[in-house]
């Protein structure tokens, strides 16, 4: 699950990033309102955490523009204590939930989970695929209930594929989502990783689309 955190206070952003990251979310932070707007306009996030007091373009404006352009991603807004007018405006502008600062990071995690669950119409922390099941909370894949020992990289790959069911994801996209930013592009690391994942879960789990990338197999 990919979450966008639009927050200019670096301390808060760090706390959110770490809390969400530990809970298995892929977190992307932006501190500038206009940049945040662009990103959610061009990339598919599963949820957005939006601070209303952002530089360049304030949160409310950003939110209104998203909704006007058809961005339906659930948005949780952060407001300062006592600013109830902001909350009202936020909800009217299309926010799905709000949290008042200061907050417990875990509360945010819980609410984001709930938002995503509602928006997808599914209980998301556990994703079944074939005879397997991926559990984002415990960061494990189980086969008929028995836990399988995937390596961290393997887990990230299958999680990413499962979260992008029905799409074909390119090697480049995989690289950018599960590797460091400065990662060597000409390497065949992704191919090797796919091979290793297949060795564990069966060859059909990941389907190759030559020249395009990879998808989940038809039965998953």
Binding site for DNA (CB under 7 A): 149, 151-154, 171, 179, 184, 187-189, 191-196, 198, 203, 208, 210-213
With contacts defined by CB under 8 A, name the span among 1-9, 58-66, 110-118, 193-201 that binds a copy of itself: 110-118
Phi, psi of 210 (to 5 degrees): -45, 125
Residue showing tokens 């807004």: 77
Decide if 99 contacts 5 (C-beta within 8 A). Answer: no
Nearer to DNA, 60 or 193 (CB): 193
Judged by CB under 8 A, the chain residues 43 through 72 that form the site for a copy of itself are 43
Q: Is 119 in the site for a copy of itself (CB under 8 A)?
A: no
Binding site partner of 138, from a copy of itself, DNA, none, Cβ cut-off 5-8 A by kind: a copy of itself
Gap between the Cα atoms of 31 and 72, Å rounded: 21
CA-to-CA separations, 69 to 41, 42, 63, 104, in angstroms, rounded: 8, 11, 10, 32
The least distance separating DNA from the CB of residue 169, rounded to whole angstroms, comes to 11
Q: Is 163 in the site for a copy of itself (CB under 8 A)?
A: no
Binding site partner of 179, from a copy of itself, DNA, none, Cβ cut-off 5-8 A by kind: DNA
Torsion of CA 179, 180, 182, 187, to 10 degrees: -30
The least distance separating a copy of itself from the CB of residue 205, rounded to whole angstroms, comes to 17
For residue 196 the two structure tokens come to: 């290793």
């Amino acid at each position: 699950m990919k979450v966008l955190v639009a927050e200019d206070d670096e301390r808060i952003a760090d706390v959110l990033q770490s809390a969400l990251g530990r809970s298995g979310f892929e977190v992307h932070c932006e501190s500038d309102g206009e940049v945040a707007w662009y990103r959610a306009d061009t990339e598919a996030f599963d949820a957005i955490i939006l601070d209303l007091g952002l530089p360049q373009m304030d949160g409310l404006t950003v939110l209104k523009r998203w909704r006007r352009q058809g961005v339906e991603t659930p948005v949780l807004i952060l407001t300062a204590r006592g600013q109830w007018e902001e909350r009202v405006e936020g909800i009217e502008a299309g926010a799905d939930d709000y949290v008042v600062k200061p907050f417990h990071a875990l509360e945010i995690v819980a609410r984001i989970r709930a938002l995503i669950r509602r928006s997808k119409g599914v209980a998301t922390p556990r994703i079944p695929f074939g005879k397997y099941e991926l559990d984002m909370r415990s960061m494990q894949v189980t086969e008929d209930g028995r836990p399988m020992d995937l390596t961290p990289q393997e887990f990230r790959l299958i999680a990413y594929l499962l979260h992008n069911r029905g799409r074909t994801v390119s090697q480049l996209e995989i690289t950018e989502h599960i590797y460091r930013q400065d990662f060597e592009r000409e390497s065949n690391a992704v191919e090797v990783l796919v091979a290793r994942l297949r060795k564990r879960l069966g060859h059909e789990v990941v389907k190759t689309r030559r020249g395009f990338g990879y998808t989940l197999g038809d039965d998953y």
